[in-house]
Chains A and B, each alone.
Chain A
């Protein structure tokens, strides 16, 4: 690891806790990095001569006479085109056996884009998955997580989306990734022949959890290089942000901060927003789109992590198993893409918004009918039809294994309307009914 001349070396640590050490030192900058017995740490508090460092990999075994070397800089990443195709750990060090990257050194966690230098996102990302393209269209420059219980195949869906998205670069930020999932991503990208478009920063379950805190900033610093310097369309995948937030709470608890809801730090909203807000569309054509994963516990979206995430991101894609058809679907009720109105009916067929809404409304009627049935009541003819419709809709459109273009999704929807309902029951603007109701 780096050591240079004029670096200050200290050997007298005064206090040690599980996550932090404290020592007397002068001329130290806030958030500066240091090496403590070979481990990386960062300054989190200075009072007079007392400097407190957070040690990312924990303080186990650090003696009071350990060597502390201050590096005089915040965490950094070297950026250049050499990043492409490479795998790194949370500190930006290669883990694929390849050489160090040469390039310009940049501080990670850099300032935000001036809002007036942004452009309104407007380019549709087609994924072939109707639960996304039809009901929750994605747009470049958007930030959106998958909300899913840990047993859902979110990483697979995310990999599919990434490969179909036609991005110039895909940047994977893995946090607490199991080794199997890490290898899964590697294989999928490799098999797709996409490895040279991928940059990965990975913290696996084998690594100390607090190191994860660096992963999103590393990934986004690389993303900003490609999006700003190279005007590229960059897709950033962050999985699993729940484990990132858990690391935040570990640190704040160890530093005796007052926890707010669900033992999360009071700053959780700002901490997450700082990351997600890196999603951006630039006028020059470059963009950063963030697709993340937030795992839930028992589908509970009121927990502080999904709750704060929902308040930050531009919608969420909710995966759940539909027992009626035995497949995983993108739940149309709890999923939302807030940027969809920028593209649907504009870059897609004009009937898209109305068809989408009608289809979901009828699906909701089916849910009501099912409740009725479960409560032992007779079903009306309309109820029966909605149930039939819901099955077909789930199977042909909501299931994550669907892969067709948007035009076909709309035609399939009209087909379902026609099969199960009257025009008045569907309740779509007349001009569209006239155009699409009859089979072509």
Chain B
């Protein structure tokens, strides 16, 4: 939609942040415009056009805005600015650098540069004169917080180009030309380290998107052991308020095996973002020894920030993710909470007086959600390298009811379901993931199964299914005990129930605030699970149900002490010895 002259218009109507603009020329759907309100320009996006009226949603408060105010249309959609220097930045939903804003309070119309234009980067060429290149191909690289950051052929360019020249290794600023490429007609194009991309479009500069096949280790036992997610996989965490969605997401972002972590705080609490600001600079990435903040970018559009920018924030995060994926990196993308984004869509759709779907959400909610989730994935880049975006979103179902439209739409789009249960949270069984209802479709993929067998162990898949069965049978036994009473069922029912409790307390429950227990490496998960299953299958002798209960409580206590101790440390080993003594007493 490049135009010679910018289209302009005048404000004709205002209801909250929906503004009607009478325009004097062509405008495009989703085009960005600025409303020239007094001393501050208010950014807005076209969401509907009828005749000469453009309906725009303003990303700021419209307080004081008057009819007749001038509007200038920019000729492009909402775009992110891509280049080195994005990591460890704190952006708002429109990619304004929050740290560059002056004052304690956000000022409307204050738009800041996402990049640092004066920073010097040490550049090394990758491509050379004569190379054939296309969008997303690597021309050179700089180091961003120690991470290789590729400078690529801009995503917007179509077709193939020939490299005329790449600058010599050396120090450059982001706006310096680092390469000249030439199109089929011999037209020369300078390339800098900066490019722009419309956030609502998927970057497709890759060769192929296979099914994800490689589990992504998160250190969370409930996920890795029972329902693993994959590199390039998608998952969602629905749960009533206070059941642990955010704590779980933060745990995953601290621990997961990712190169880049992008966190979109979408319509949630500012204090939760502050927690990341304050903790991530202190925490170390166990794999690189660097501070977590160095590989993290935060998109903060908290609940008190403008509603329309909330919708933009998840797209901004995704576009940044796609940028880093194209460099051959493993990106972990988190959005908390996608329900707030859906609500922003609902507010606008209601104001536009569109025909409402279920619970007054827009009719096309499902399509919007699916479309977004489909941008995640594992890819083979043109040069054969691989990259991935693993996406996990939280869902905040109204009234905790999983039958509401956002949860249902997301269920269709995401491959892993980590449902948090109110009952588990109430009894402080954290993380409150309901292990029986939750699932990972990836566990059914033959390529994932193969990977697990060759990397975790031959017996692993069998053990996982075994553990799931024990949990299920334990639940059934508990229901029977509740109906018939402790004495009304055979002692075997009590054993079944307590075996499932053993798995619950030792594997499922995990203290996110304990240094050691918070993250469990796969090797330890494998060790503990097989240990627990040995007990579950051992022949134990009890005279009455009281004995069963007492014995298993002791076991659980012993295992918990192990969970709190360094793996295979002296302490750990001692607990383990005591444990086998306890068992021996019961076996004969």
Contacts and interface: CB of A to CB of B under 8 A. Distances in A.
A28 B271 CA distance: 37
A427 interface: yes
A315 B243 CA distance: 11
B180 interface: no
A47 interface: yes
Given A120-B278, A258-B350, A310 B106 contact: no
Interface stretch (B74-82, B317-325, B394-402): B394-402
Given A47-B20, A112-B105, A273-B304, A257 B15 contact: no
A409 B277 CA distance: 33
A196 interface: no
B392 to A, nearest CB: 18
B271 A261 contact: no
A258 B108 contact: no
B457 interface: no
B63 A29 contact: yes
Nearest to A356: B428
Contact of B242 (A29, A115, A336, A425): A336
Contacts of B277: 115-116, 120
A375 B343 contact: no
A118 B274 contact: yes
A111 B305 CA distance: 8
Contact of B271 (A29, A302, A333, A339): A339
B486 A380 contact: yes
Given A312-B269, A339-B271, A266 B106 contact: no
Contacts of B13: 45-48
Contacts of A336: 242
A314 B271 contact: yes
B382 interface: no
A258 B347 contact: no
B553 A115 contact: no
Given A307-B241, A339-B271, A112 B64 contact: no
Nearest to A267: B347
A116 B273 CA distance: 9
A422 B98 CA distance: 54
A305 to B, nearest CB: 11
A338 interface: yes
B556 interface: yes
Interface string A124-151: 0000000000000000011000000000
B426 A116 contact: no
Contacts of B486: 372, 377-378, 380
Contact of B347 (A266, A280, A334): A266
B275 interface: yes
B107 interface: yes
Nearest to A353: B513
A357 interface: yes
B307 A270 contact: yes
Nearest to A304: B398
B105 A114 contact: yes
A46 B274 CA distance: 38
Contact of A257 (B65, B99, B350, B554): B350
Nearest to B505: A427
B303 A269 contact: yes
B346 interface: yes
Interface string B245-279: 00000000000000000000001011101110110
B546 A47 contact: no
A155 B10 CA distance: 51
Interface in B58-96: 61-67, 90
A112 B271 CA distance: 13
Contacts of A279: 271
Contact of A270 (B20, B66, B106, B343): B343
A166 B560 CA distance: 39
Contacts of B513: 341, 353
Contacts of B360: 258-260, 266
B343 A116 contact: no
Contact of B63 (A28, A30, A116): A30
B122 interface: no
Interface string A75-115: 00000000000000000000000000000000100111111
B428 A360 contact: yes
A172 B222 CA distance: 45
A365 to B, nearest CB: 9
B564 interface: yes
B400 A29 contact: no
B557 interface: yes
A113 B397 CA distance: 28
Contact of B106 (A107, A111, A282, A376): A111
A44 B63 CA distance: 10
Contacts of B554: 424
Contact of A111 (B107, B359, B400): B107
Contact of A113 (B62, B106, B269, B303): B106
Given A118-B274, A307-B399, A429-B561, A44 B15 contact: yes
A29 B66 contact: yes
B103 interface: yes
Given A266-B346, A277-B303, A30 B399 contact: no
Contacts of A304: 398-399
A359 to B, nearest CB: 10
Contacts of A48: 12-13, 67
Contact of A27 (B66, B242, B343): B66
A258 B14 contact: no
Given A114-B98, A258-B356, A261-B398, A424 B62 contact: no
A429 B564 contact: yes
Interface in A368-400: 371-372, 375-378, 380-382
B549 interface: yes
A269 B98 contact: no
A111 B61 contact: yes
B546 A381 contact: yes
Nearest to B546: A380
A435 interface: no
Interface in B398-417: 398-401
B104 A382 contact: no
B63 A378 contact: no
A8 interface: no
B101 interface: yes
B302 interface: yes
A430 interface: yes
Contacts of A280: 270
A296 interface: no
Contacts of B550: 424
A121, A312, A315: residue with the most chain B Cβ atoms closer than 10 Å: A312
A40 to B, nearest CB: 16
Interface string A23-45: 00011111110000000000011
Contact of B15 (A45, A116, A334, A429): A45
A95 to B, nearest CB: 27
Interface in A393-432: 424-425, 427, 429-430
A228 interface: yes
Contacts of A371: 482
Given A112-B302, A364-B427, A429-B561, A118 B340 contact: no
14 contacts: A31-B63, A32-B64, A46-B66, A46-B67, A112-B304, A116-B99, A120-B271, A261-B359, A266-B347, A266-B360, A274-B303, A364-B426, A372-B486, A380-B486
Given A29-B66, A31-B62, A302-B401, 13 more contacts: A45-B15, A46-B67, A48-B13, A49-B67, A114-B103, A116-B98, A119-B278, A120-B277, A259-B360, A277-B269, A278-B304, A353-B513, A382-B549
Interface of A: 26-32, 44-49, 74, 107, 110-121, 141-142, 228, 257-261, 266-267, 269-270, 273-274, 277-280, 282, 302-304, 307, 310-312, 314-316, 333-334, 336, 338-339, 341, 353, 357, 360-361, 364, 371-372, 375-378, 380-382, 424-425, 427, 429-430
**A-B pairs, 8 with minimum CB distance:** A273-B303, A277-B304, A302-B399, A377-B485, A310-B241, A47-B13, A29-B64, A112-B304
